[in-house]
C-alpha cells in the first residue's frame, strides 16, 4: 500500500475509533494477529481487535467526550508515525478512579506498522502521568532539599 494510503488509514483510525467511538472500525483496520504496545503502560500488550475494543471501551467510559487531533502524520514504507493531542473530560469511572469532572489535555505519539491495509503492530507513548495528575489521581511528591551543615 502506498504511504499516503497508510497515513489516511491512521487518520481514519483516530477519527472513527477514538473521536466517534466506532468499535467496528477496530475490526475493519486491525489485523486479527495485531499486537499493540504501550497503550495502558510501558509493558502492556494488547492482542487483536477484541482486546483493543475492550481497551477503547475502558478509556471512553472514563472520557466519553475524548477528541483526538492528529497534529502530524508521516510515514515510510510500512510505518506511519502520528503525533497527536487529546482533549477530554474525566466523566466516568472506567479507569477505576471516580469521575472528577476535570478537563484533561494530553499528547502522544503512535507508530503503526501496516501490511495489506491492516494495522499489524503498534507502539504508543503518551502522557499517562500527566493525565493522572490532571484528574487528581496522582500528586507529585514534594521536593525536599537538605541543607548542608557547615
Could you state, in order of their start, the residue ranges of all structural domains in the chain? 3-134
Cα distance between residue 46 and residue 99, in whole Å:
25
Cα distance between residue 51 and residue 22, in whole Å:
15
Please report the pLDDT score of residue 11 as a whole number.
Answer: 98
CATH for 3-134? 3.10.450.50
Per residue in 82-127, pLDDT (tens digit) is 999 999 999 999 889 999 999 999 999 999 999 999 999 999 999 9
Query: Strands across the sheet with 45-47, in order?
Result: 45-47, 30-37, 118-126, 103-115, 79-89, 67-76
Per residue in 7-34, pLDDT (tens digit) is 999 999 999 999 999 999 999 999 999 9
Residue range 54-72: average pLDDT?
97
Q: Within 10 Å of residue 105's Cβ, how many Cβ atoms?
A: 12
Helices then strands, counting H and E runs in the chain, come out as 4, 6
Amino acid at each position: 500500500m502506498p504511504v499516503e494510503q497508510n497515513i489516511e488509514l491512521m487518520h481514519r483510525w483516530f477519527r472513527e475509533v477514538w473521536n466517534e467511538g466506532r468499535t467496528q472500525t477496530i475490526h475493519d483496520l486491525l489485523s486479527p494477529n495485531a499486537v499493540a504496545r504501550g497503550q495502558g503502560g510501558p509493558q502492556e500488550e494488547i492482542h487483536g481487535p477484541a482486546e483493543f475494543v475492550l481497551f477503547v471501551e475502558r478509556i471512553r467510559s472514563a472520557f466519553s467526550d475524548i477528541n483526538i487531533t492528529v497534529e502530524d502524520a508521516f510515514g515510510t514504507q510500512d510505518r506511519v508515525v502520528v503525533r497527536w493531542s487529546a482533549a477530554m473530560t474525566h466523566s466516568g469511572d472506567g479507569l477505576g478512579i471516580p469521575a472528577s469532572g476535570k478537563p484533561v489535555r494530553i499528547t502522544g505519539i503512535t507508530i503503526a506498522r501496516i501490511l495489506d491495509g491492516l494495522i499489524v503492530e503498534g507502539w504508543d507513548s503518551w502522557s499517562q502521568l500527566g493525565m493522572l495528575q490532571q484528574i487528581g489521581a496522582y500528586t507529585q511528591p514534594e521536593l525536599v532539599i537538605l541543607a548542608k551543615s557547615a
